[in-house]
């Protein structure tokens, strides 16, 4: 099941790839149903907030009419940055499944784990390495494409 | 000048107060001009992303047509949470002026300082205590109003 849902997140990431955006995708699942989808559109929308996870969270909240995504799982192809980890906390998501790590900006355990901080009012379970190769090679191909174009 | 701009952020916070939202306001300043404003509307919009800082950043990016808020200052009545600190990093804001600290969730120095992390690709200067009493008493009055209603 994890691979099935991460594959859906990868489909989202490919939409960013085709738009010449860093290819990151996310989906939100509740009771085995996908209730939110998002892909990175930062450059096209001129918004630093439009990371895949943010769009998926916004989409899911709209769908269920609540800012609380209690009992929901988020699947994302790249480890969340500080903003997205914070949004995951703020929306009370229960579990996060991650494709590949972000060694410089990753805030779900690599640089720091914002999803398990002693004073914060919510904690999230994290699992790394779901379709890791597929997630990381999509990002590598994107940067290769950029370099070849220059 | 700091007090003038924080007072504008307080005016935003009062809009949240009147909506029965936790009263937090933010503004963004570039070259002494206010280019973005926001107040917390989380409950009314059913969105965990609609913190004051996020709306002000979104507003400013729309105004200047760029996701980079380089050289901009953010004034916010309460210390940013993880999500908002991450958004401040992602938008490359230069300086953050804060009214009052958040002892449990504050990510600009109180619990952790996400705005000055060694591996991250951006750092932000932070100043605490701008109109601190006004900022904190507005929040206290809000929770007093809530308690009195029950």
A49-67: pLDDT as tens digits: 999 999 999 999 999 999 9
Q: Are the Cβ atoms of A58 and B42 closer than 8 angstroms?
A: no
Which of B116, B21, B25 is CA-nearest to residue B74? B25
Q: Residues B50-96: pLDDT tens digits?
A: 999 999 999 999 999 999 999 999 999 999 999 999 999 999 999 99
Among all residues of chain A, which has the CA nearest to that of B60? A47
Spatial contact of A82 and B88, defined as CB atoms under 8 Å apart = no
Would you call B146 an interface residue with chain A, using a CB distance cutoff of 8 Å? no
Q: Residues B9-33: pLDDT tens digits?
A: 999 999 999 999 999 999 999 999 9
Residue A1 has pLDDT above 80, yes or no: no
Q: Residues B89-127: pLDDT tens digits?
A: 999 999 999 999 999 999 999 999 999 999 999 999 999
Would you call B20 an interface residue with chain A, using a CB distance cutoff of 8 Å? no
Option in B49, B92, B107 nearest A54 (CB): B49
Among all residues of chain A, which has the CA nearest to that of B106? A120
């Amino acid at each position: 099941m994890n691979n099935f849902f991460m594959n859906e997140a990868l489909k989202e990431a490919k939409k960013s790839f085709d738009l010449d955006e860093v290819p990151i995708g996310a989906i939100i699942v509740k009771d085995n149903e996908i209730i939110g989808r998002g892909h990175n559109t930062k450059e096209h929308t001129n918004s630093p907030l439009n990371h895949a996870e943010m769009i998926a969270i916004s989409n899911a909240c709209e769908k269920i009419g609540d800012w609380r995504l209690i009992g929901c799982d988020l699947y994302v192809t790249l480890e969340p940055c500080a903003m997205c980890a914070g949004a995951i906390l703020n929306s009370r998501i229960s579990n996060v499944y991650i494709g590949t790590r972000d060694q410089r900006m990753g805030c779900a355990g690599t640089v720091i784990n914002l999803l398990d901080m002693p004073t914060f009012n919510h904690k999230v379970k994290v699992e790394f390495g779901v379709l890791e190769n597929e997630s990381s090679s999509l990002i590598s191909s994107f940067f290769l494409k950029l370099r070849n174009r220059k």
